[in-house]
Amino acid sequence: MILKNKVALVTGGTSGIGKATALAFGAAGAKVVFSGRREAEGEATATLIRDAGAECLFVRSDVSIEADVQALVEKTIATYGRLDCAFNNAGIEPPTKPLHEQSIEDFDKVMSINVRGLFLCMKYEIQQMLSQGSGAIVNTSSVGGLFGFPSFAPYVASKHAVMGLTRSAALDYAKQGIRINAVNPGPIETEMNDRILEKMGATVDIFDSIVPMGRMGQAEEIAQAVVFLCSDAASYITGQPLVVDGGATVS
């Protein structure tokens, strides 16, 4: 219960890493607010969190729309009175192809959600955290936020931008009680990875050779890293990437 009595927000919480983290926040004792664009999946996840014994609220919200993001933070404060932890996780992937074949429309779409959306979330979350004098933010980057990957240029650029936002904002608020870190997953078994493998015409076997642990990660393994970074156990950590990748980027 390392987040007991904390209020925790998750974006992109209707599936994958976000859903697992919303559940993990609840299990760690937090009151959970999570957002997504899919109403039915959101309400189903909210039922799971409540059945496990935590208080929770699902808010339908698109991170690329400023009014939605502002309303999400306002509803969090109106319902639970404060905001202690925020996991900015909503993200999409563009088609998998070399840079010269990528369209400007796909590039703009990835940036509008993965970068602009995350910037908007931080802007409104930090306003609330400044008024409280405390808070912890974790942004979902990727191992693609630290290294290049062929056929993923717009995605990799967006996840490097997440690192830039994380590091700079961490410096802005280090003296004001707000810690800001990133989590950098390797290949994790989610709907996004299913889509990427399908586009590449590949199967999960490719991770046997790429990942030293010989398997994809589970969303719950990212969720535990996020809970740690949001907790007081990480009280002297800010501006850092936490790589959770089965050893993929070590060699």
Query: Is residue 75 near ligand NAD by the rule CB under 6 A?
Result: no
Provide the minimum distance between the beta carbon of 174 and ligand NAD in the complex, in angstroms, as a whole number. Answer: 25
Catalytic residue numbers, as ranges: 155
Using CB under 6 A, which residues numbered 6 to 45 contact ligand NAD?
11-12, 14-18, 36-38
Query: Is residue 82 near ligand NAD by the rule CB under 6 A?
Result: no
Identified binder of ligand NAD from the candidate list 2, 48, 111, 192, rule CB under 6 A: 192
- Torsion on CA atoms 189, 190, 194, 200, rounded to nearest 10: -70
Cross-strand partners of 8:
32, 85
Task: Considering the complex, state which of residue 130 and residue 192 has its C-beta at the smaller distance from ligand NAD.
Answer: 192
Identified binder of ligand NAD from the candidate list 188, 197, 225, 227, rule CB under 6 A: 188
Using CB under 6 A, which residues numbered 84 to 113 contact ligand NAD?
89-92, 113
- Backbone torsion region of residue 113, taken as left when φ is above 0, otherwise alpha when ψ lies between -120 and 50, otherwise beta: alpha
Give me the sign of the Cα torsion angle 154, 143, 234, 219.
positive
SS3 243: strand
Annotate 121-147 with b (16+ C-beta within 10 A) or e (fewer): bbebbbebbeeeeebbbbbbbbbbbbe
Distance CA 16, CA 239 (A): 24
Residue 1 CB contacts under 8 Å (≥ 6 apart), including other chains: 28, 29
Provide the minimum distance between the beta carbon of 99 and ligand NAD in the complex, in angstroms, as a whole number. Answer: 18
Using CB under 6 A, which residues numbered 124 to 163 contact ligand NAD?
140, 142
* Residue 68 CB neighbours (<10 A): 17
Query: Is residue 240 near ligand NAD by the rule CB under 6 A?
Result: no
Provide the minimum distance between the beta carbon of 37 and ligand NAD in the complex, in angstroms, as a whole number. Answer: 5
Provide the minimum distance between the beta carbon of 185 and ligand NAD in the complex, in angstroms, as a whole number. Answer: 4
Residue 101 CB contacts under 8 Å (≥ 6 apart), including other chains: none
Distance CA 93, CA 67 (A): 23
Query: Is residue 166 near ligand NAD by the rule CB under 6 A?
Result: no
Using CB under 6 A, count the residues that bind ligand NAD.
28
- Name the segment binding ligand NAD (CB under 6 A); options: 46-54, 101-109, 183-191, 202-210: 183-191
Task: Considering the complex, state which of residue 170 and residue 226 has its C-beta at the smaller distance from ligand NAD.
Answer: 226
Identified binder of ligand NAD from the candidate list 185, 207, 223, 244, rule CB under 6 A: 185
**Chain contacts with ligand NAD (rule: CB under 6 A):** 11-12, 14-18, 36-38, 62-64, 89-92, 113, 117, 140, 142, 185, 187-188, 190-193
